[in-house]
Structure 1
Amino acid sequence: MTTSAVIRELHTNEEFERVDELFERIWGFEPDGRPITAGLMRALTHAGNYVSGAFDGDRMVGASVGFFGQDSTLHSQNTGAAAGRGIGFELKLHQRQWALDRGISRITWTYDPLVRRNAHFNLAKLGARPAEYLPCFYGVMADAINQGDESDRILAVWPLTDPAVEAAVRRVPCLPAVPEDAVVGLGDDGGRPVEGRTDGRVVLVAVPEDIERLRGVDAGAAKAWRHAVREVLGGLMEEGATVTGFHRKTYYVVERNA
């Protein structure tokens, strides 16, 4: 189900406090573990950076915070929204137009490579591409979603005027070509990772069906997935391989460079 939301920039302390409360509801941060605060949002916007909110009537249902980076880049630090309503996609469209209006050519952000829905959203629905694998980027996480897991992240790059991105924002998904001779570098056997071959030109790397649930019911399996994906996907990317997309909401498609 999708619900249209009104998205606008935010400027007041009261609005920033509402963003803070929204992010707390989504992630369940510890009081001293919030990655961004209302006061910091105030400073960011005063310096010309990006903070937006999505509203269903008077109710805030999503928000996004970003700041300027190097080389005509906006870095999107936090984006959160009510699930299953398409609000996250609308927030990214607003963020993209905001950036283009200011001569910014790309947006970057980090995400957990183990979360299938995020990988599908970022790579297939938006047309972003992984640029770097970042092991334990934020240290060990203490919020309710990550539950003590190591914070491996992928740095996603969204080239705003790339033809694939322009198609994606028109809701044409960016789906990778998977040749018949692709090999499975990491598979899923009954909920646990199984390493395979990585010697093919195209390598498929699976991630678990629901890592957030798995952390709660089988912390050992969740940890095994973390380290297996770090070794296989992170290893391939470190060698210079390119992630070209996310296949069947299950596999990263990784192409070795000739």
Structure 2
Amino acid sequence: MSLSPGPVAVREVEIRELSSPDELEELIRIFDDVWRPDPTRRPVGVDMLRALSHSGNYVAGAFIGDHLAGGSVAFFSSPAGESLHSHITGVTRRGRGRHVGYLLKMHQRRWALERGLSTITWTFDPLVARNAYFNITKLGATPTHYYEDFYGELGDELSGGSDSDRVLMSWSLREPMPENTDGAGSVEALLAEGAVSAIDHSDRARPLPHHDRVTPEASVVVPVPRDVEAMRAAHPLEAARWRLALRDALSPLLVDGASRRSVRFLRSGHYVFGPAGSGVR
């Protein structure tokens, strides 16, 4: 078996590893276009990408024709010889609608498997509904822990100046990909069957967490805004309230051990947790 996955091409999208300074500089421009960071606080620099690539870590780009439309960077992590941590993945406007993000993760998955790894981890902002759907429903990864203000102040436009709370995802590469990725489900039906809502959002501008509703036996529904990035731009105070409400509601549900709950994410913008113990394997 080759240790290099080689290019992946689907519908005019080609994914390949990057190593030259020119390619890496172009990848930095892609990340700048996606996150629009303070130039003095880029999430990663060309020198670091060059070092990661040279030392055998994962640095890849997605091309549409001759144009770079997205990329991903990951590095080996603990446990040694078992895990890869995906630090950053971004897709530009040019790549939207072409499944570029999905193809990058599939390439990364194959790359990791060919090196004998069993798990890929990464963090994401749990307020961003489309990313929650992609990570949990589309890829079948599992949220395992909630971190408050994980990176500190980021200084990019997407974060809107809010705390950088993150959820850690764990993607088991030994398990099959999910067959049902439509994210369908009726929140009303779940509530009628006895599930409880951990956030009262009858007033969308003032979400209120409700810990008292959550019991070990209950399934739990946790709503998020459909587009928090637009909310951050137009109504930053509302977005900040949602950050705090989701932190209070979500962090107690992401527990390990015998009380771990199963998790899925609906297209309607809702996390759905099973009863305590339903996520134990």
The TM-score, its normalising length taken from structure 1, stands at 0.91
Deviation larger for 232-241 or 101-110: 232-241
Question: 2:17 is matched with which residue?
Answer: 9
Structure 1: how far apart are the matches of 2:65 and 2:133? 29
**In structure 2, do the counterparts of structure 1 residues 100 and 249 end up closer, same or farther at CA, with 3 Å as the change threshold?**
farther
Matches within 5 A, 1:1-258: 3-71=11-79, 72-82=82-92, 83-163=96-176, 166-167=177-178, 172-173=180-181, 180-192=193-205, 193-196=207-210, 197-199=213-215, 201-238=218-255, 240-258=259-277
Deviation larger for 191-200 or 49-58: 191-200
Aligned-partner residue type, residue 77 of structure 1: H
Quick one: percent identity of the two aligned structures? 41
Give per-residue Cα distances to partners, 1:86-133, cap 9 Å, x unaligned: 100000000000000000101000000000000000000000010110
Three-state SS of the structure 1 residue aligned to 2:160 is coil
Q: Which has the larger radius of gyration?
A: 2
Tell me how large the CA RMSD over aligned residues is: 2.0
Question: 2:6 is matched with which residue?
Answer: none
Three-state SS of the structure 2 residue aligned to 1:167 is coil
Q: Is the 8 A contact 1:243 1:252 kept in 2?
A: no
Give per-residue Cα distances to partners, 1:165-188, cap 9 Å, x unaligned: x235xxx41759885211111143
Structure 1: how far apart are the matches of 2:117 and 2:182? 22
Give per-residue Cα distances to partners, 1:63-104, cap 9 Å, x unaligned: 000000012111000000133321000000000000000001
Aligned-partner residue type, residue 130 of structure 1: P
Three-state SS of the structure 2 residue aligned to 1:67 is strand
Task: Give, in angstroms, the shift of residue 241 of structure 1.
Answer: 4.1
Q: Is the 8 A contact 2:123 2:169 kept in 1?
A: yes
**In structure 2, do the counterparts of structure 1 residues 174 and 107 end up closer, same or farther at CA, with 3 Å as the change threshold?**
farther
Structure 1: how far apart are the matches of 2:97 and 2:271? 23
The TM-score, its normalising length taken from structure 2, stands at 0.84
- Aligned positions, number: 252
**In structure 2, do the counterparts of structure 1 residues 146 and 4 end up closer, same or farther at CA, with 3 Å as the change threshold?**
same
Structure 2: how far apart are the matches of 1:46 and 1:212? 35
Structure 2: how far apart are the matches of 1:194 and 1:243? 23
Structure 2: how far apart are the matches of 1:176 and 1:162? 22
Aligned-partner residue type, residue 131 of structure 1: T
Structure 2: how far apart are the matches of 1:173 and 1:187? 27
Aligned-partner residue type, residue 216 of structure 1: A
**In structure 2, do the counterparts of structure 1 residues 111 and 191 end up closer, same or farther at CA, with 3 Å as the change threshold?**
same
Aligned-partner residue type, residue 132 of structure 1: H
Q: Is the 8 A contact 1:131 1:155 kept in 2?
A: yes
Question: Mind listing any 5+ residue stretches in structure 1 that lack a counterpart?
Answer: none
Structure 2: how far apart are the matches of 1:246 and 1:45? 34
Q: Is the 8 A contact 2:137 2:178 kept in 1?
A: no
Task: Give, in angstroms, the shift of residue 28 of structure 1.
Answer: 0.1
Task: Give, in angstroms, the shift of residue 242 of structure 1.
Answer: 2.5
Q: Is the 8 A contact 1:241 1:254 kept in 2?
A: no
Structure 1: how far apart are the matches of 2:35 and 2:11? 22
Name the structure with the higher strand share: 1
Give per-residue Cα distances to partners, 1:12-47, cap 9 Å, x unaligned: 111100000000011101111111111101000111
Q: Is the 8 A contact 2:63 2:69 kept in 1?
A: yes
